[in-house]
Structure 1
Amino acid sequence: MNNVDVIVIGLGSMGGAAVNALAQRGHSVLGIERFWPSHDRGSAHGGTRIIRQSYFEGLEYVPLLRRAYTGWRQLEEQSERSLMTLTGGIYIGDPQEETFAGALASAQHWGLPHDVLSSEEITERFPAMRPAPHAKGLFEQNAGFVDPEATTAANIQVATMHGAELHFGETVLSWTATKGGGVEVVTTRGRYGADRLVVAPGAWSERLLGEVGAPVASERQVVYWFAPDTSAGKPSLADYSVGTQPVFIERTDGNEQVFGFPIVPGQAPGVKIGFFHDYTPTDPDAVNREISEFEIAQMQSRTLDLFPHLTGRLLAGSTCLYPSSPDDHFMLGLHPEHSQVTVATGFGGHGFKFVPVVGDIVADLSTRGRTDLPIGLFSLEREALRR
């Protein structure tokens, strides 16, 4: 059993970024993934994921987002792939509701360029949208989307270029901390040793992390692509598309928060939209991938609150998994019992935009035992996780 410097369990979004960061720093790395590269069994698929900086989830995230944007451009250059498209982003809600008010607070605190728009101004600028009359929107130009499948492939590509050894189609059965301060990992194919371990298990957190991963709920999530009605007198297809329509998040009058994307060239010719949370816990190995007629009707009804002419048929639908922590903040740090083990999980539905900076943080933690980046919000021992 030959030792490497670091083993990484899970080669999805965060594990792939960690393998890449570690390999580029000159460490010998073994990455192990139960599925295939850029698979659709977890959280890193669906063609688009929102990227934004006016972050209503908390002021603490913005410095990490700034670092992530630099990382996205670097990954594009290294892999020679197009990953990030800036379309602008609009966050709509009641003036005091978190979606708008939190985004405004982040933009003002960090001096991010932004425009505050009334409901009428939103429709004037983005003709397909009809928010509630009393709603307000924060628009930021420096927002858009990233391609999740291409991102995962890019991290794998660049990590391999820098010497990482990656195993796909291999399931981790167990890992143990050894007396000498290292780790041993047992899989369906063999037994491996390393000085340090990174566990980036996504929806399989409890199975691979026990009590440490138990707070993570594996949540079934569905996204939909609806066709607009572009008949005479209604917004045109261009009004829903990249170039006019930005990415969006909306919650008004206490309804369920939704997020979505413009029509993207090369993808289903409809607007992609979903609920921010579905609140349906699931076994990650027995996910219901079928989308019911009730779910479709519920989503389309909610969609009409914002897009009154998005009344065409469902063009496509997709299910994925959100590994969410109880407070929706990430779980990122050293294992409380084994300092040679770094944990990266609980990224839920809003973590993908942080992929490059999480890779750097995990590489810091697993090789130096600390990071200079601000991650106090993500402590594995915070009160919300103990409850």
Structure 2
Amino acid sequence: MAPVQQIRVGVVGVGTMGSQVLRQLAMRGIEATGFERFELGHDRGAAGGQTRIFRIAYKEGGRYVPLLRAARRAWLELEERTGQRLFEPHGALTVGSAEDSDVRTVLEVARQWSIDGELVEESAYPQHRLFEGDLAFLDREGGLLHPARAVRAASSCALEAGASVHTGTYVEEVSESRTGVAVHYRREGRRHTEHFDQVIVCTGPWIGEAFPMLRRAVEVRRAVLCWFAGTDPGYWAPQRFPVGMRRSDGENRFSFFPDVGDGVKINLHVEKSTVPDPERLDPVVDTGYLRRVTSAVTRCLPGLRAEPLSVRTYMEGYTEDNHGIIGRVPGSPNILAMGGFSGHGFKLSPVFAEAVADLVCEGRTEWSVEHLGIERIAA
């Protein structure tokens, strides 16, 4: 698609969102330049942790279903274009109490939107121990995403379409100028400035550093992920142990991910600690937390060994309503912000990127992203 007019666009942060935005812009013939502080596909931001869940029967509500279905098509198209395995379509499970609000929402969304799925017996996925009152629902349209691989694939497509990327680049300031937007950055110890007509800032946990107005609106939280070994790795492979979430009573609440080489990943859904400074993410995990994770695993997934193989910490940005932010920054009409996706933005990144590219090129988008407007945060 040829742009209405030739413009230059900068993209600050070439991670989850930035790689997809850069690709969308380049495919439309826009002269686009990305700025990435680390290497492409790094694991320091919200895309870290090796794997991500994709589901259509969404606990966040039915308004996301059309976006999710479009995102699923986009992931498969990107996979076909690059020849990289990015999405493993083996379904997504919801396991838990029939009385849990998240479980009820998943079932209601599946019913309202005629999602391909069904309630399954415990014997279908015997890795899970179901308690009295529990059920298991398989969303056949769900699956597993490989984030680092996906970021590199989207970036590669952007480069092939004519975009450019500066890695190892620290952006110090993005500001409106008489000629558009100035991006001031350091690379190899030297300070540089480039000028653009518009700039999109999508720096994940660092979004508040770019926009002080978002520091209080986007809370950076630490995610502690644990990997566990099973006696038979094939028993926990994606084809036999789909990705999903657990919502049983008590502290039996977590997301689970199949073994893709390093063990079964578990993310315990308890209150996360805040990260005051993204530059100083605390890697130390206390033994009390590890006991809680291990207890949940022992109760719900008895085929896994009790002690984790590895434990790693990551960061994600959360808004008060757990919905992301997309929009033009108040007072800076040529700067757009994307951030605060609250742990569920990765799967939707191709569609969110298309919406932002629409805003840049056409000033409007047909995608239903009004609930992500920055106005609700900045008001």
Give the TM-score normalised by structure 2: 0.92
Write the distance in 2 (CA, Å) between the matches of 1:304 and 1:379.
42
Write the distance in 2 (CA, Å) between the matches of 1:317 and 1:310.
15
Aligned to 1:258: 254
Q: Secondary structure at the match of 2:157?
A: helix
Write the distance in 2 (CA, Å) between the matches of 1:23 and 1:281.
36
Equivalent residues of 1:4, 1:30 under 8 A apart? no
Structure 1 residue 221 displacement after superposition = 0.6
Equivalent residues of 2:242, 2:258 under 8 A apart? yes
Equivalent residues of 1:184, 1:191 under 8 A apart? yes
Paired residues for 1:197-236 under 5 Å: 197-228=199-230, 230=231
Aligned to 1:170: 169
Q: Describe the superposition over 1:286-319 as per-residue Cα deviations: whole angstroms up to 9, x where unpaired.
A: 0012333333222111222311232343212222
Equivalent residues of 2:213, 2:378 under 8 A apart? no
CA, structure 1 residues 319+4, in 2 after alignment: closer, same or farther (shift >3 Å)? farther
Aligned to 1:296: 290
Q: Describe the superposition over 1:176-211 as per-residue Cα deviations: whole angstroms up to 9, x where unpaired.
A: 11245x211111130010000101011011110120
Structure 1 residue 276 displacement after superposition = 3.6
Structure 1 residue 213 displacement after superposition = 4.8
Aligned to 2:53: 50
Equivalent residues of 2:256, 2:265 under 8 A apart? yes
Write the distance in 2 (CA, Å) between the matches of 1:175 and 1:284.
19
Write the distance in 1 (CA, Å) between the matches of 2:49 and 2:298.
22
Task: Say which of 319, 323, 326 aligns to 2:313.
Answer: 319
For structure 2, the 5+ residue unaligned runs are 1-5
Structure 1 residue 277 displacement after superposition = 5.2
Write the distance in 2 (CA, Å) between the matches of 1:110 and 1:213.
36
Aligned to 1:280: 273
CA, structure 1 residues 275+201, in 2 after alignment: closer, same or farther (shift >3 Å)? same
Q: Describe the superposition over 1:237-257 as per-residue Cα deviations: whole angstroms up to 9, x where unpaired.
A: 543222211112012225363
Write the distance in 1 (CA, Å) between the matches of 2:337 and 2:270.
23
Aligned to 2:235: 239
Aligned positions, number:
369
Indicate the percent of aligned positions where both proteins have the same amino acid: 30
Q: Secondary structure at the match of 2:66?
A: helix
Question: After the TM superposition, which parts of structure 1 deviate over 6 Å for at least 4 consecutive aligned residues?
Answer: none
Aligned to 1:72: 75
Paired residues for 1:9-28 under 5 Å: 9-28=12-31
CA, structure 1 residues 326+277, in 2 after alignment: closer, same or farther (shift >3 Å)? farther
More off after superposition, 42-51 vs 255-264: 255-264
Aligned to 2:147: 148
Aligned to 1:196: 198
Write the distance in 2 (CA, Å) between the matches of 1:172 and 1:262.
37
| Residue type of the alignment partner of 2:44 | R
Q: Secondary structure at the match of 2:169?
A: coil
CA, structure 1 residues 93+87, in 2 after alignment: closer, same or farther (shift >3 Å)? same
Structure 1 residue 6 displacement after superposition = 0.5
Equivalent residues of 1:4, 1:193 under 8 A apart? no
Q: Describe the superposition over 1:224-276 as per-residue Cα deviations: whole angstroms up to 9, x where unpaired.
A: 11123x4xxxxx55432222111120122253631011222xx11x2111124
Aligned to 2:37: 34
Equivalent residues of 1:127, 1:239 under 8 A apart? no
Task: Say which of 181, 191, 201 aligns to 1:183.
Answer: 181
| Residue type of the alignment partner of 2:249 | D
Structure 1 residue 68 displacement after superposition = 0.4
Write the distance in 2 (CA, Å) between the matches of 1:301 and 1:312.
8
Equivalent residues of 2:88, 2:238 under 8 A apart? no
Aligned to 2:91: 88
Write the distance in 1 (CA, Å) between the matches of 2:216 and 2:159.
32
Give the TM-score normalised by structure 1: 0.90
Write the distance in 1 (CA, Å) between the matches of 2:344 and 2:313.
16
Write the distance in 2 (CA, Å) between the matches of 1:6 and 1:278.
38
Aligned to 2:136: 137
CA, structure 1 residues 140+46, in 2 after alignment: closer, same or farther (shift >3 Å)? same
Equivalent residues of 1:99, 1:249 under 8 A apart? no
| Residue type of the alignment partner of 1:56 | K
Write the distance in 1 (CA, Å) between the matches of 2:197 and 2:165.
17
CA, structure 1 residues 369+214, in 2 after alignment: closer, same or farther (shift >3 Å)? farther
